[in-house]
Structure 1
């Protein structure tokens, strides 16, 4: 059962029909308790400040797996993400509002949203199928979240199985749908043999559809823990002309079912296996569908790969677009016949124009280079036009221009190389939707952002895109282009691994998108130009903060893992590669001495010795006395002193990182330590945070040392702690404010102390928990009370004391 916010109600809904599984429906209401919870008593009200929380603007940064327009209410749009929750569009500001920030650590898997459904009859109703992993990584089962107020508050119907919001196939669907003929009825397609499920009471309780005959059998790779999922029941769609219900199943031999009696009985659709099951010897499955209820067509996009990011088929086509006449049962292959790459690896999203019957669009899946292709047809798939094609030479011609100014990092610091543009139409395009109320508006999600335009029908007024030259080669003819821009503002979906606040600048290391230097928290910044695929660690010289270092994972063996800036993050250069450290990973932790004279880097590999540099990374030397993979930090006052921790041993260097020795500490945990940090302005002060390891019998908590790591005191309030950080003191010459993501009395939260750690107060509330938050935390050195928080899927959150 989920820990409830103050004031929330709870009701038992009994047993699932026919399953014997108790399912609780939990009503999550607005937080009505105090904004701060605290440990201990204190008369100083300043300790109990209320906080206002916002995002440092990155704009996107992760996989947007679905975009759902309400069919009857204009401008009611929802977006779902694989680890960052779901969002509702706000037309007035053209931004997205997060809807699941109330999800706490105990149910962090609810931040992975595998499907959404918006009610076309009672349009305030919205539903989300949640659960991040089908593996035991997520200790909880999945759930259906239901809301009667467009996601402002939610109830929870727990399910007896897991769902995979961040598993392969997460962009397929939609797996969760509302029956437009009876909006109290919902259907849910599930993975791993759990079949088709149904609710008849607005999502409050659920039961398996016992007579649904096929739970699916398609597995990408049974020998791979991630790819071994049975993709199961993929989507449900409705024919509103004849009243049929269609269900797509991950079974190439039996991929499509229909019901003509409201779900009482189910039959395979004749000819479906031949139409959908294979392309050029590759098994294919029906990953998405769209219905044209005027012409009576069901369109199905197939792919050999559930996606979103696996490699394309080695050879041959891997998918097609099939059209089923819902009245006659006739199948027609309407697959686009041309792809500039030569083969079509498969298809992702598919959508129809409700205002212009016969108009539909689809996108390639995993076309990768030089770009994905979006196809558009205005004659029910008989002919198609492409979003881009090759022109003469190495150039290409496009239907539209890409305006990435809303997210300047979308170029990945690259440059156009012929037909391979730095700013791409996208990749992993499973979310593709034309506004049912406005044929000029389309949005599509990618592995990084949402693109969109309000000029879509200008596509149809352009001249033919494809022609032939004298040699018979296909060429692209000039077209009058429209503009596609970023439509992801407000949707923040990065996994942040480290933070450093310099005062006037916030430096971050970020999964998949390197990292950023924010000098304006309300503005998306360019990506750190250090060739990281993922940033893992950042640090700065305390007495010379113009010098910043960072480390990250890199692709290939050409670039160094450490990046260095000497102008406060405006420009970066890669440090030299270290012999014996391959590419593709190994970011680890990096530290720079307080005066900026020494860098110490510890790759995240148990076989690679940490190294130090005295020339800002131009050359490296092996550190003496440290095990591989040890975490490293520098003293914030003493330039020659650095610290390290590994396996229960705390190490100290007094010669700038050349050698480390055991500091002689006892009583520290042997594992489960997430973070340790040193205190600005306090030499020899070190704090250590640990989650512990229940399987190994290691307890978590927090420890502090005032003598450089020789002796330690355990902070008894904390059962576990993820991270520790420091900011401006509450009083002049006072101890820096301490911030931590930790648990007191079993309550995970963001806690602060302004008296050196004697008393701690929770500064977030139950409406602001951000699921699995707190891998890194730091205060601002210039602004008392401001705290920056890393989240695993909701970007960089920062809080200020409420005015």
Structure 2
């Protein structure tokens, strides 16, 4: 589910770097950038209230972590959308990383999370989205259950969105001396901290290898699994003396490079030395996605061939008493060889041990399909408790990526498991047919690529195009959408509706496995049902990248700009497409595309913006702005735009918006500045109101861009300008979400430091409710002000 998401986010996070500095103004790409740290000055701040536009889940939750003794203290970590804490009273999740700033998008993917077993307020979370050798993970630490965080940089990378991201947990707190933490890394072996995570040293008694980038690149998807997990073999906690017996599992990729001869190791002296543990012959070279310890000391170990998500088989579940291995379950015959094992949890002891086992890479909803297997007799017999669940169109299903399963340590009848779309829970696991609920209230893990608010009078509130979900049309903000593109798109990149007829919507994206040739579609009834375009833009199938847009001028008429392509127009809902006269875009190492936008007052006018491709293309690159007066068939270039001071930048860092109340009134952000035209692009004014924050390691690309998204919506009564203008950017040294009601003369920041969402983008402003703006957090779904 996240292949597209991984590709999409890689380009975004590549430009982020921790920290900023400098004592005087620097210049990036010819644009003014502000020296000093973000927040050194502050304009007027009038924080709005924020809510989440409900999708309901939408993404992969690789790990669920219960506190071992405190009831209902439960956390969920996601691969790209931050972390959440369970609120039992509200039966919902609370986002605990919304305070992450715009330079922390790389850390919005959590690789592992650990709790202090003696202090249910203390939480540790390792974050870092990809394990490049040059990247640095962070350890975030909280003493109030994630309400506030501090962090330290770790001396190794993490892979919160790499393959095998459900394996673990990699980070564990010693229950007897909670100042001690162990971390099983992907690329650098086992590490230990003795001061609650403040400083770290490699456990060289196990291995001294730290992978180079070349070694990382030799592994599948450049995702080494490394040291998979740490288990403290103890029945006590808070004893004050470090636990001496510890198990750790090592994946074949790291073991082979480090010269380790086994996949499982044990120490009886706190890590001073390690002894290899021979595993059964039929699982040698396998991944250990999870291993758990029962209260009687019995170890339960799942082995599977692949690393996941949704790891394929064959696979085995064994128990280990310190000497002997006993096979409990396996899938490897012709019928079941594709099934793997993912989640694993135990409760109780001895012959009455309850085992919950996630069977992953199983898809569908059929009698006999394994999804969550349960045993109440230590693995002697098994039954299926999770197939044939009810589902709805937005829940993402319950099968497929069953990569983590957890039994509540305080209630063995409560079992939770994850999928690619969220979290499922039963409270009656002992029943013959348990009842399951999709518990994703508060979890919004959609990577949004385009938002559009319709014209006044529409029978819906918002349109969204997103990775992995396609298109959704919200009729109610606080209810999961029922108007969706279904399984037509694997991901959607652009969406627009006719201003004169908001029931006519057009959307573009990437083909899905079931419908690989559908990359464009339209609806004539506000998204209730969808029709594929009879034909695609001629280049759309070959260029299914997110640097794409579509503009609808009126019913049946649209201009489609796929990535790397000359835009084309249709006047018959896609029965035919004809190239415009816009020039082809030179290929670069980043995806390029035109922003195409329709004028809302004059449907014959369409605007096209070429952002130049990338900031580093300054030696020969150029920005361009074009205007069409015949509905998007032919365009004329603005003779003044290049001289206006517009900067080169990537598609994702740039944005165009039109004033729906005035013809030819165009606003544009180029990543650095805000530009304005009142004559359909013939002339431009650069406002010089925003500044970027410099990157001390890069003279041309800033750490934080000055202006990246813009939208115009309904103005309040008595406003000096007919629309409220919203931007994401840096004004007077403070990054944030800003609003102006007087044509950009004055700006007010409407978010605060607790509501930064690891970066804000993809703005859309409501045309009916003054002061309401919609925006995307960093894979945090869609938020809105109220």
1:52 is matched with 49
Q: 2:426 aligns with which of 442, 449, 453?
A: 453
Distance 1:191 1:342, change over 3 A: closer
Determine whether 1:361 maps to 2:356: yes
Distance in 2 (alpha carbons) for counterparts of 1:351 and 1:637:
60
2:214 is equivalent to residue 206 of structure 1? no
Find out whether 1:585 has 2:583 as its counterpart.
no
Task: Judge conservation of contact 1:336–1:384 (CA < 8 Å) in 2.
Answer: no
Q: Aligned pair count?
A: 690
Per the normalisation by structure 2, the TM-score is: 0.82
| Aligned match of 2:124 | 127
Return the alpha-carbon distance in structure 2 between the equivalents of residues 432 and 256 of structure 1.
22
SS at match of 1:632: strand
With normalisation by structure 1, the TM-score equals 0.80
1:381 corresponds to which residue? 379
Q: Which residue does the alignment assign to 1:469?
A: none
CA distance in 2, matches of 1:488, 1:355: 31
Provide the aligned C-alpha RMSD in A: 2.9
Query: Where does 1:593-612 land on structure 2 (aligned, <5 Å)?
Result: 593-596=552-555, 598-604=557-563, 606=564, 608-612=565-569
Say which structure, 1 or 2, has more relative contact order (CA 8 Å, 6+ apart): 2
Give the Cα separation in 2 of the matches to 1:206 and 1:763. Answer: 39
Quick check: 1:537 aligned with 2:494? Answer: yes
2: distance between equivalents of 1:188 and 1:273? 26
1:110 aligns with 2:107: yes
Measured after TM superposition, the shift of residue 61 of structure 1 is 0.4
Contact 1:537 1:552 in 2 (8 A): yes
Does 317-326 or 647-656 show the bigger shift? 317-326
Counterparts of 2:429 and 2:750, CA distance in 1? 46
Which residue does 2:410 correspond to in 1? 437
Aligned counterpart in structure 2 of residue 513 of structure 1, from 466, 469, 486: 469
User: What's the counterpart of residue 300 of structure 1?
Assistant: 301
Q: Deviations over 1:113-149 (max 9, x none)?
A: 111112221121111111111238xx86211111111
User: Deviation per CA, 1:317-364, whole angstroms, max 9, x where unpaired?
Assistant: 4332222113xx112222335779331442111111248842212123
**What SS class does the counterpart of residue 549 from structure 1 fall into?**
strand
What CA distance in whole angstroms lies between the structure 1 residues aligned with 2:549 and 2:779? 23
SS in 2 for 1:108: helix
What residue number does 2:262 align with? Answer: 254
Do the aligned partners of residues 225 and 514 (structure 1) sit closer, same or farther apart at CA in structure 2, a change above 3 Å counting? farther
**Of 602, 617, 624, the match for 1:638:** 602
Given that residues 82 and 166 in structure 1 are in contact (C-alpha distance below 8 angstroms), is that contact kept between their aligned partners in structure 2? Answer: yes
**Which residue of the partner structure matches residue 495 of structure 1?**
447
Cα deviation for residue 762 of structure 1 reads: 1.5
Matched position secondary structure for 1:533: strand
Alignment of 1:68-467 (within 5 A): 68-135=65-132, 141-192=136-187, 194-213=188-207, 227-240=221-234, 244-251=245-252, 253-269=261-277, 271-272=278-279, 274=281, 276-278=283-285, 284-294=286-296, 296-308=297-309, 312=312, 317-326=313-322, 329-337=323-331, 341-354=335-348, 357-368=352-363, 373-387=371-385, 401-404=388-391, 408-410=393-395, 424-458=397-431, 462=432
Q: 1:572 maps to which residue?
A: 530
Alpha-carbon distance in structure 2 between the residues aligned to 1:221 and 1:304: 21
CA distance in structure 1 between the partners assigned to 2:752 and 2:19 by the alignment: 13
Aligned to 1:16: none
Q: Does 1:657 align with 2:632?
A: yes
- Cα shift readout 1:510-531 (whole Å, capped 9, x = no counterpart): 1101121112111111351261
- Residue 481 of structure 2 is aligned to residue 484 of structure 1: no
In structure 1, how many angstroms separate the alpha carbons of the residues matched to 2:51 and 2:773?
Answer: 11
Moved more, 62-71 or 727-736: 727-736
Deviation at 1:745, TM superposition (A): 4.5
1:706 paired to 2:681? no
1:578-626, Cα deviation, whole Å (9 max, x unpaired): 245427835654444444352111112x2x4322111222332222334
Counterpart residue number, 1:680: 660
Q: How big is the shift at 1:559?
A: 4.3
Q: Is the 8 A contact 1:540 1:549 kept in 2?
A: yes
Structure 1 stretches of 5 or more lacking a match?
A: 5-32, 40-47, 279-283, 388-398, 412-423, 463-480, 692-699
Conserved? CA contact 2:342–2:360, under 8 Å: yes
Kept in 1: contact 2:129–2:162 (CA 8 A): yes
Judged with a 3 Å threshold, the aligned counterparts in structure 2 of structure 1 residues 106 and 581 are, in CA distance, closer, same or farther, namely closer
- Residue from 628, 649, 652 that aligns with 1:671: 649
How far residue 106 of structure 1 moved from its aligned partner, in angstroms, is 1.5
Residue 660 of structure 1 and its aligned partner are, at CA, apart by 1.7
Distance in 2 (CA, whole Å) between partners of 1:37 and 1:226 is: 46
8 A contact 1:142–1:159 mirrored in 2: yes
In structure 1, what is the Cα distance between the partners aligned to 2:659 and 2:54? 27
Task: Give a deviation string over 1:33-90, Cα, whole Å, max 9, x none.
Answer: 99x9427xxxxxxxx5331111111111011010011111011111100011111111
Q: CA separation in 1, counterparts of 2:333 and 2:673?
A: 56
Alignment match, 1:758: 745
For 1:309 and 1:773, how far apart are their aligned partners in 2?
31
How far residue 437 of structure 1 moved from its aligned partner, in angstroms, is 0.9
| Aligned mates of 1:83, 1:457 — CA distance in 2 | 34
Q: Select between 555-564 and 788-797 the one with higher mean Cα deviation.
A: 555-564
Deviation of 1:212 (Å): 2.5
Which of 497, 510, 521 is 1:553 aligned to?
A: 510
Contact 2:315/2:330 (8 A) holds in 1: no
Q: 1:526 aligns with which of 482, 506, 521?
A: 482
State the secondary structure of the residue aligned to 2:163: coil
Q: Secondary structure at 1:87's aligned position in 2?
A: strand
Kept in 1: contact 2:105–2:778 (CA 8 A): no
Partner of 1:795: 781
Q: 1:671 aligns to what SS in structure 2?
A: coil
Q: CA deviation at 1:666?
A: 2.0
Separation in 1, partners of 2:349, 2:668: 60
Structure 1's 226 and 541: CA in aligned 2 closer, same or farther, altered over 3 A?
Answer: farther
Deviation at 1:220, TM superposition (A): 13
Distance in 1, matches of 2:665 and 2:334, equals 61
Q: Distance in 2 between matches of 1:171 and 1:360?
A: 18
Report SS of the residue matched to 1:600.
Answer: strand
* Deviation string, structure 1 residues 634-681 (Cα, Å, up to 9, x no partner): 111111110111231111111111112212222333433522121111
Could you tell me whether the CA contact under 8 Å between 2:371 and 2:387 is conserved in 1? no
Moved more, 573-582 or 513-522: 573-582
